[in-house]
Amino acid sequence: MSNGMKRLFGTCAGVLLATSLAVHAQQPPAHHWAIVIHGGAGVIERATMSPETEAAYRAALNQAARTGAGVLDRGGSSLDAIEAVIRIFEDDPLFNAGRGAVFTAAGKNELDAAIMDGSNLKAGAVAGVTRTRHPISLARAVMEKSPHVMLIGAGADAFAAQVGLEQVDPSFFFTERRWQSLVKQLKQEGRPIPQRPAGAPPAPSGPLAAFEPPNAHKFGTVGVVALDRAGNIAAGTSTGGVQAKQWGRVGDSPIIGAGTYASNQSCAVSATGTGEYFIRLGVAREICNLVYFKGLPLQQAADQVIHKELEALHGDGGIVAITPDGQMAWSFNTPGMYRARQQEGGKLQISIYNDEP
């Protein structure tokens, strides 16, 4: 080949390479990430909410959503975003998950959590753990490091310790606000009051400043659904369950298909509310089935299950949901649900009451 020909080939190859690099650089990512978060549903009403309490919840939702969005924006997986957000909530006494969890009638904090990967239908769940600081990370470890889907109680905590997850004294989860709320409920119902838990700080001399209206925290579970740039959706939920629960009661949150579900074939859902109804209806899977079998848009499927099927049973609560094509939804039949959502390139939306979008 002559030198002229060689130069020509070299130039052509260079142009081709540059063009393909430019095309590659211009190509939008396969999927725009999206995230939807809840911090529990319940009797959360503007009329009885103090401005300070409302501001505290909005700030917490803002921080959580930004953390999740940051993970997804850096190309992180939906599972990573979910775990990062829920770990923050589990450390925040505002929410009924991890530290800040409600008490059982026996005066304990028993924590439940689940996570599910929509790309392969793998799932991990734990119920009744009392020593693992971040139950959502334990649920993920069950999914990724054990041959099982669900572990309970002391065995689940032992597995957590074995895989190196932080263990704490059960009193770590104690908050005065939740303790007083338990005592109040048990007194009203004429039930025995358990001993103040060992390791709890001394009882305050005066009453606590009313931080929120009574019953606002009947619920307070946290949950996240996310779509990552690879197009995978996932769901995660973490809770202390319902206040004054007895006999090792477990709600919907760690039950795959009830309070938590994800499949790239349909949708990902995390629920909050009176778990017994959500278990009976298989709420999370029911919504995804309507998307999969009936081809319903996500919002319509969610509203049908929450406003028709759940209400028909007199159940209360709500859900957040997402699809691999980026539909985001929330639906609840309570006066409020702490919630936030954001899509890549879009604005972060934070809402509390049912008269907000």
3-state SS, 322-344, equals: ECCCCCEEEEECCCEEEEEEEEC
| Interface map 75-114 toward ligand ASP (x if CB under 6 A) | ---------------------x------------------
Residue with tokens 């990552």: 228
Q: Could you give the dihedral angle defined by the CA atoms of residues 321, 323, 328 and 332, in that order, rounded to the nearest 10 degrees?
A: -20
Distance CA 301, CA 294 (A): 9
Residues in 233-252 that interact with ligand ASP by CB under 6 A:
239, 241-242, 251-252
The full length of the chain comes to 357
CA atoms within 13 A on the CB side of 318: 31
Cα–Cα distance for residue pair 357/353, rounded to 1 Å: 9
Q: Strand, coil or helix: what is 349?
A: strand
Q: Out of 272, 327, 334, 342, which residue is the one contacting ligand ASP (CB under 6 A)? A: 272
Give the DSSP H or E segment for 279.
Answer: helix 275-281
Is 287 a residue that touches ligand ASP (CB under 6 A)? no
Q: 134 or 218: whose CB is closer to ligand ASP?
A: 218
Size of the site for ligand ASP (CB under 6 A): 16
The distance of closest approach from Cβ of residue 217 to ligand ASP in the complex, given in angstroms and rounded to an integer, is 8
Binding mask 10-49 for ligand ASP (x = CB under 6 A): ------------------------------x---------
Give the tokens for residue 171: 């009193």
Query: Is 221 a residue of the active site?
Result: yes
Give least dist CB 101 to ligand ASP, A. Answer: 10
318 near ligand ASP, rule: CB under 6 A: no
Catalytic residue among 132, 175, 221, 334: 221
111-170 residues in contact with ligand ASP (CB under 6 A) are none
Q: Say how far apart CA 309 and CA 264 lie, in whole Å.
A: 24
Residues tagged active-site: 221
- For ligand ASP, the binding residues (CB under 6 A) are 40, 96, 219-221, 239, 241-242, 251-253, 259, 272-275
